[in-house]
């Protein structure tokens, strides 16, 4: 359990922002974990980084003014990309056009005159789950976000594990099957992501249709125009053997990956989040079977593998926790 402030401090709060879409989601959270307010910051679709920073500054000021009597101690921003930690510059963000090399931390700090922390969104989500979510009772966990790809966040002793250059947690690109025919964008084959992420589900479903193995998936493709993981899950729920096999494969890959993490970290908790989680009942049995088989540590301990609980709020709350944690750290 992360340490909480004493009652005398509860008038302090922080704001977390998710830099993930056109309209930014944000929350004001008190240092004791009470969510004071979830809010949105709307931006122009074509606005560049400077425009969006300006809107964040206005949004933060507005929310701050609504909480007179409380002290805003800082702002955290979750970003779908690689951050240079010391400077808060966005080093890589394939899905955020125009933000690479942008000095986000510096710009926000200058405008707000408050400490600002910038963090990778998967890392922020892991921290959020430890602070207020399914990981509230632990200090160490790994969070896997199962979306189009697979993102990872590692919290070790209550703090995000960044590694040397902030690139730790690329668990979606850990090899789970070196013989796999599935090629990954990273140049590897058999990454966890190529076996168990949303894109993998779609590709396997299309292959089943092409090979004439699934009339059910073929009908869905015909009706809907494309095969989403959700549609594939519907077919599996309806009993289609090819669709069921796809989710068995998803669980198989996840189980190999999780067993490796458990053997490596011996953490008490591993959380799964993201859209593919909706198919838990379809992939979890195969996943747990592989984990049982491939981790002596798992078989001999009460290690838990569970669903994350904060949904898309995890990254926002985790971002809000960053300036709170920084304020509490002993200065070096």
Q: Can residue 231 be called a binding residue for a second copy (CB under 8 A)?
A: no
Smallest separation (angstroms) from a second copy to the CB of 257: 9
Residue 152 neighbours by CB distance under 10 Å: 24
27 or 303: CB nearest a second copy: 303
Helix or strand holding residue 65 (H, E): helix 49-65
Which residue(s) pair with 41 in the sheet? 24
The per-residue b/e assignment along 41-80, b for 16 or more CB within 10 angstroms, e otherwise, is bebeeeeebeebbebbbebbeebbeebeebebbbbbbbbb
* The binder of a second copy chosen from 29, 112, 176, 235 (CB under 8 A): 176
Q: Can residue 294 be called a binding residue for a second copy (CB under 8 A)?
A: yes
CA distance 287 to 160: 26
Q: Can residue 84 be called a binding residue for a second copy (CB under 8 A)?
A: no
Q: Where are the alpha helices (DSSP H) in 66-181?
A: 104-112, 121-132
Nearest partner of 283 among 310, 311, 305, 309, judged by Cα: 305
CA distance 233 to 197: 13
Q: Can residue 100 be called a binding residue for a second copy (CB under 8 A)?
A: no
Window of 143-151, 203-211, 255-263, 277-285 that interacts with a second copy by CB under 8 A: 255-263
Window of 56-64, 153-161, 204-212, 238-246 that interacts with a second copy by CB under 8 A: 153-161
Q: Can residue 173 be called a binding residue for a second copy (CB under 8 A)?
A: yes
Q: Are 127 and 313 in contact (CB under 8 A)?
A: no
35 or 168: CB nearest a second copy: 168
CA distance 27 to 29: 6
165 or 219: CB nearest a second copy: 165
Q: How far, in whole angstroms, is CA 1 from its chain's centroid?
A: 20
Residue with tokens 């056009």: 97
Window of 26-34, 199-207, 293-301, 320-328 that interacts with a second copy by CB under 8 A: 293-301
Q: Can residue 170 be called a binding residue for a second copy (CB under 8 A)?
A: yes
* The binder of a second copy chosen from 66, 137, 266, 306 (CB under 8 A): 266
* The binder of a second copy chosen from 1, 167, 183, 219 (CB under 8 A): 167
109 or 177: CB nearest a second copy: 177
Interface residues with a second copy (CB under 8 A) are: 140, 152, 154, 156, 161-171, 173-179, 186-188, 252, 256, 259-261, 263-268, 290, 293-297, 299, 301, 303, 330
């Amino acid at each position: 359990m992360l340490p909480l402030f004493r009652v005398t401090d509860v008038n302090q709060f922080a704001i977390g922002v998710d830099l993930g879409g056109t309209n930014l989601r944000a929350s004001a959270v008190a240092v004791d974990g009470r969510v004071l307010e979830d809010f949105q910051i709307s931006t122009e679709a074509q606005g560049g980084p400077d425009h969006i920073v300006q809107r964040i500054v206005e949004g933060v000021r507005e929310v701050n003014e609504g909480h007179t009597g409380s002290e805003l101690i800082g702002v955290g921003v979750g970003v779908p990309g690689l951050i240079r930690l010391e400077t808060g510059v966005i080093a890589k963000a394939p899905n955020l056009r125009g933000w690479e090399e942008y000095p986000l931390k510096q710009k926000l700090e200058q405008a707000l005159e408050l400490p600002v922390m910038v963090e990778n969104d998967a890392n922020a989500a892991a921290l959020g789950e430890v602070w207020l979510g399914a990981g509230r009772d632990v200090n160490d966990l790994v969070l896997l976000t199962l979306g189009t790809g697979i993102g990872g966040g590692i919290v070790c002793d209550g703090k995000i594990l960044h590694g040397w250059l902030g690139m730790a947690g690329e668990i979606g690109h850990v090899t789970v099957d070196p013989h796999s025919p599935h090629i990954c964008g990273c140049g590897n084959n058999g990454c966890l992501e190529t076996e168990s992420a949303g894109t993998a589900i779609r590709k396997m479903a299309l292959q089943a249709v092409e090979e004439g193995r699934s009339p059910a998936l073929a009908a869905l493709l015909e009706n809907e125009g494309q095969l989403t993981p959700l549609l594939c899950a519907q077919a599996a729920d309806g009993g289609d053997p090819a669709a069921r096999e796809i989710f068995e494969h998803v669980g198989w890959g996840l189980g190999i990956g999780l067993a490796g993490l458990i053997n490596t970290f011996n953490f008490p908790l591993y959380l799964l989040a993201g859209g593919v989680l909706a198919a838990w009942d379809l992939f979890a049995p195969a996943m747990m079977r592989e984990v049982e088989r491939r981790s002596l540590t798992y078989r001999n301990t009460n290690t838990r593998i569970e669903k994350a609980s904060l949904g898309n709020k995890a990254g926002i709350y985790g971002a809000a926790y960053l300036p709170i944690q920084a304020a509490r750290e002993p200065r070096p």
